[in-house]
Structure 1
């Protein structure tokens, strides 16, 4: 397989048509080598328009979804980022190229170690993997400039919103099957948030994700 041709095809045929037009983001997809973060058994599918399997039933997001969320978050070099759901570490590596520091929290110990090893192999020095449950956020390093939830949320927990700085942005896939909204939530002040729906998709829910209240009055 011609890897660079496959990468070019991924960018031009999958990602650009999904309204990913920020040239810095497109360039980053050539710098951070996706094939280096894919489990060895799926290396030939690194550039396919698929959610690639990861250990213990987890998946990497579609390349177009990762790129679109990266574009919409518009991370800046001075910003600190929380990612929830490290997976293979690929999304955190992309974020790390644009941020000052990334903390990515992974509930599955095997995946946390896989992501950590991928950071070492790929020279990602400003991203840290933490093994833990961040389904309600990760208060240890809060507040954050940017929070990226790399898994589904039936509802966005208030605790998570409160871990954003004023002016900070949160990316999340909100709702349930069959269709969820990819949202960018911006904290306007201490109590107000602006929600922008970017596109529709489906992403499996985070383990221990907060569920909507079933009570009706």
Structure 2
């Protein structure tokens, strides 16, 4: 597994495209310029890794389009050493971006095939999230809560209450909500009982399934 000057050049072009599409957070752009996306893809897709496109990664899941990764990451407003909970480890690419942004990442995956693969791949590539867990993302990781922010990388039909409960006051939950298509939703916890909600348009994700670990 190599990361060459050619790959870096392609990442530079991708980051330029993301900036043109409205991504302005330099922490996000720098992280995506540093993380070798091609190493998180099956070999048949590696030549296309720096296109702004989603690709299958097995187990019926996908690696998100780079713009989607950047958009969600930007909404989190990650600061160094923030505790971030990621629901849906998937390929590990979003996890790596968050690690590169300086977050202490706690990530959970419901597909055993992906969990086993990614829990080995991430440290092999030099990314060390605090926790890589196999389990039901709807339940979050209550033993590690509270979190500065939570990111959900699958389409949820509703906002799971356990995730809201695991946010710090002032914390941010970024979640695509909907069935056929999803509305990117940001919830900011303003007090023990109140959340401020913002919506950012339609996106398309694989579904977040409850109690479907396998």
TM-score, with structure 1 as normaliser: 0.89
Indicate the residue corresponding to 1:215 in structure 2.
none
Conserved in 2, the CA contact under 8 Å of 1:116 and 1:128?
no
Q: Does 1:198 align with 2:191?
A: no
Counterpart Cα distance in 2 of 1:168 and 1:56: 31
Indicate the residue corresponding to 1:57 in structure 2.
60
Q: Does 1:10 align with 2:7?
A: no
**More displaced stretch, 30-39 vs 52-61:** 30-39
Counterpart Cα distance in 1 of 2:150 and 2:12: 29
Q: How many residues align?
A: 207
Indicate the residue corresponding to 2:153 in structure 1.
150
Conserved in 1, the CA contact under 8 Å of 2:27 and 2:101?
no
Write the mapping of 1:1-217 to structure 2, written as runs, cut at 5 A: 2-13=6-17, 15-177=18-180, 179-208=181-210
Conserved in 2, the CA contact under 8 Å of 1:147 and 1:171?
yes
Counterpart Cα distance in 1 of 2:89 and 2:106: 9
SS at match of 1:152: coil
Give how far 1:100 is off: 4.3
Give how far 1:207 is off: 1.9
Counterpart Cα distance in 2 of 1:113 and 1:127: 16
**Structure 2 alignment gaps of length 5 or more:** none
- Residues 51-73 of structure 1: CA deviation (Å, up to 9, x unaligned): 11011111011100001111111
SS at match of 2:67: helix
SS at match of 2:59: helix
- Residues 2-48 of structure 1: CA deviation (Å, up to 9, x unaligned): 323322222222x1233101222211112111112112221112112
Conserved in 2, the CA contact under 8 Å of 1:96 and 1:127?
no
TM-score, with structure 2 as normaliser: 0.90
